[in-house]
Structure 1
Amino acid sequence: MANTPVVQLLRQLMEIPSVSEEEQKIGIFLSKYLENLGYTVEPIPIAPDSDRCNVYAYLGADRKARTCMTSHMDTVPPHIDFKIEGDIIYGRGACDDKGPLAAQIIAAEELRAERVIQDGDISLLFVVGEEKGGPGMLAANDMNLNWEAIIHSGYPEKGKNAATTLVTLLDELKSLDLPTSELLGPTTFNLGKIQGGVAYNVLAADAYALCGIRVAANLEEIEKKVAEIVKKYPDVTLKKSFGYPETYLDYEIEGLDSMPVSFGTDIPRLKGNHKRYLYGPGSILHAHGVNEQVAIPDLIESVAVYKRLVLASLEKNAQY
């Protein structure tokens, strides 16, 4: 199984470090790789003076396609080297998001080889920055394309301990009663990073925390509750990097199970009336951690599932 096309492609992708804001090398690799397969490829800068580019690929001369498969090229830090143990692939990007990206390319190639898709049926969009605010998917809106379906702190005064203040505030935020959804489940709060001070025996002059809230319902109410808590601490400044409400996706594909999940995605940032499917091999429980991984059988199976999603979106019948 380690020699299958999807595993070999994933190995190549994972050997290229691509932490958010450092996606240039993997973008160049993907552009050349897809060009060699016969795709028309457009590296698209996310801003006029930016060297960070989304990669958009399609069959033929017309960039408009009915279905678009999309993944992101960037990863969270730090880079972790590719490794196989048994039938498990370990390393940064194994399941978030280079495993799905590799599977999408191989799925498209198998559909081409089987002659069940043609020019204008499918395109591939690989974006930058999903792990850091989603600027790549936001920039994709400027492509002026529509598809039928998308298969994707504190500044204390002298004498105050900023770290102590911050920890107290964070404990309140963690205990907040946040909205829930009957379909999507609970809204979840995560403290991702906390930093402050210089030594154990010195009052911390400053401190900060990076937190994320996965919204299941009522973004406005959540923002209000958070602001009310922070307001109680006059030495703390609240800064919101980005936010979007709960996301409802299309999921009724015969023979495929579906489930609500509490993790972020840049799908809401791509505007339009297209259907939106979110699927990928591996488990979100393994994403972002030191043991990020994907099982090779799951990776291989995902190629078939992506093919089913493409054909379902194109309303073509096939058995996979």
Structure 2
Amino acid sequence: MFLKSVFLVYSLLVLRVYAANIMGLSPFKMSVIQPLLSSSKNSQIDCDHHSVKSSKRWDVVDMLKAMAKIDSTVGYEYEVMHWLRDVLEEQGMTVEMQLVEDEHQSVTGLARHNIYAYMGKTRDTSIVVSSHIDTNPEGNIPYHEIGEEIHVRGACDAKGPAAGQIVAFFELWDASIIKEGDVSLLFVIGEEYNGIGMKTAVESLNATWSKAAIFGEPTENKLSKGHKGNFRFDVEAWGKKSHSGYPELGFSAIEFYLRKANTLLNAELPYSPVLGPTTVNIGTIHGGVAANIIPDYVKAEMYIRVADDIEKVKAYVEELFNTEHSQMTIVQYLKPQYLSFDVPGFELIACAYATDIPYFESIDVKKYLYGPGSISVAHTQAEFVTVTDLYDSVIGYKNLITYNL
């Protein structure tokens, strides 16, 4: 009987270490009764934490590793948001799934949800802490580590910030520094394209916040003084096909567009002493059928990072591209933001990118932008965040929350 007991204990320990290795956790942070679940859709994801029950608090590094290994390219957020719902519920939060698009509305055929979480029954809180969970469609980055760098899509933009926010919340809760009604968590989808998640939350979540909103993005753990606005639009131009040897018989849509675009690239656009210059990017151009045919159609996606006076920029672009031969369509229009940075102890930074914060324009609270990692690697194949930055971000988020209680 004694030998059977020893063998049983040994077997459980072996299983525990094996499960921990699969899930990227320390075996001593797991309960030996945690079940290992699998899924035919993506066994790697599910072996890494999917629906694993645990009453213990998450370490911020383990939280990021688990979350980032679940693909959430913009439009494909379904699985990660349901995983996050399970995690927050297991940690004792009341969790609401807000439908943003059902499977019929979504171009991917997957329902899309925001998550709103709080303790107890008090939905309206003094502070809301928020991050987007969708990731940029630049391409998958196979999960790997280099020293203390964690390389994976979403490492800093913005699952790293989300992980830091969650861990900061529970550390404050467990220390009885925050109580029911103080802080809620809002995680949204769609930030990387058109902000539909945050827009939906502000318009129809029917929750209120009275003191502060803390947003997560990569700011190198510095407190942002503000960020540029987004003016994202598509341009279509039409012409007439002809043999390229006889261009006078046709009208080149591509040449027409390029001349207009070059005018915009060389224009003097508004400058801000805080946020810097307004910059223009031509993201994509699609048009034409062959090199020896005058093209009769082109479509371009354009993005202006607006530092100041976005109304002036909009009027100029509309006059430039709304013509007899072309038309522009606005995809996103968000004003530059000047943010709160009154919390002592933080280095300051100004950000050239945009966030979901403009959707909070009608909400009269202080707005902060903060998070681990650098925007210089976001949207690239080199995206990463360091372990040190993740742990430091937890401290930073805790300081931002407690200052505003």
- Regarding TM over 0.5, the answer is yes
The correspondence for 1:190, drawn from 277, 281, 295, is 281
Structure 1 residue 143, shift from structure 2 partner: 1.9
Structure-to-structure mapping, 1:1-320, within 5 angstroms: 5-46=59-100, 51-77=111-137, 78-141=139-202, 142-147=204-209, 148-152=211-215, 153-158=236-241, 159-231=250-322, 234-270=324-360, 271-314=362-405
Further displaced range: 302-311 or 255-264: 255-264
Letter in 2 for 1:107: A
The Cα of 1:202 is off from its aligned counterpart by 4.2
In 2, Cα distance between the equivalents of 1:47 and 1:202? Answer: 41
Q: CA deviation at 1:101?
A: 0.7
Alignment correspondent of 1:318: none
Percent same amino acid among aligned pairs? 37
| More RCO (CA 8 Å, sep 6+) | 1
Letter in 1 for 2:314: E
State the AA in 2 paired with 1:112. W
Structure 1 residues 170 and 267: alpha-carbon distance in aligned structure 2, compared to 1, 3 A threshold: same
Deviation string 1:93-133 (CA, Å, 9 cap, x unpaired) is 11111111111111112112222111111110001111111
- Give the Cα separation in 1 of the matches to 2:285 and 2:152: 24
Q: What is the CA-CA distance between 1:239 and the residue it aligns to?
A: 0.9
Are the counterparts in 2 of residues 156 and 236 from structure 1 also a CA contact under 8 Å? no
Deviations 1:225-254 (A, max 9, x none): 2123224x6322111112022111111110
Q: What do residues 10-57 of structure 1 show as CA deviations (whole Å, max 9, x unaligned)?
A: 111111111112111111011001000000000011257762110000
Q: Which runs of no fewer than 5 residues in structure 1 stay unpaired? A: 315-320
Whole-Å separation in 1 of the counterparts to 2:90 and 2:321: 53
Task: Give the whole-Å Cα distance in 2 for the aligned partners of 1:83 and 1:300.
Answer: 19
**Mean CA deviation greater in 160-169 or 219-228:** 160-169
Query: Structure 2 regions of 5+ residues with no counterpart?
Result: 1-23, 27-57, 106-110, 216-235, 242-249
Deviation, structure 1 residue 71: 0.3
2:74 partner amino acid? S
Q: Secondary structure at the match of 1:300?
A: helix
Cα distance in structure 2, aligned partners of 1:258 and 1:193? 33
Tell me the distance in 1 between the aligned counterparts of 2:199 and 2:387.
32
Deviation at 1:199, TM superposition (A): 4.2
Deviation at 1:201, TM superposition (A): 4.4
Kept in 1, the 8 Å contact 2:252–2:296? The answer is yes
**Aligned in 2, Cα 1:145/1:170: closer, same or farther, shift over 3 Å?**
same
* TM-score calculated relative to the size of structure 2: 0.73
- Count of matched residue pairs: 313
- Give 3-state SS (helix, strand or coil) of 2:332's partner: coil
Q: Secondary structure at the match of 2:367?
A: strand
RMSD: 2.0
- 162-171 or 24-33, larger mean C-alpha shift: 162-171
Distance of 1:163 and 1:53 partners within structure 2: 39
State the Cα deviation string for residues 152-193 of structure 1 (Å, max 9, x = none): 122222233333333332222221211112222222222222
Q: What is residue 317 of structure 1 aligned with on the other side?
A: none
Give, in whole Å, the separation in 2 of the partners of 1:313 and 1:82.
36
Q: Answer yes or no: is the 8 Å Cα contact 2:135–2:158 preserved in 1.
A: yes
SS at match of 1:131: coil
- The TM-score with structure 1 as length reference comes to 0.91
Residues 132-155 of structure 1: per-residue CA shift (max 9 Å, x gap): 111111111222222111011222
One-letter code aligned to 1:41:
V
Name the stretch that deviates more: 199-208 or 250-259. Answer: 199-208
Q: Secondary structure at the match of 2:125?
A: coil
Amino acid at match of 2:122: D
SS in structure 1 of the partner of residue 301 of structure 2: strand
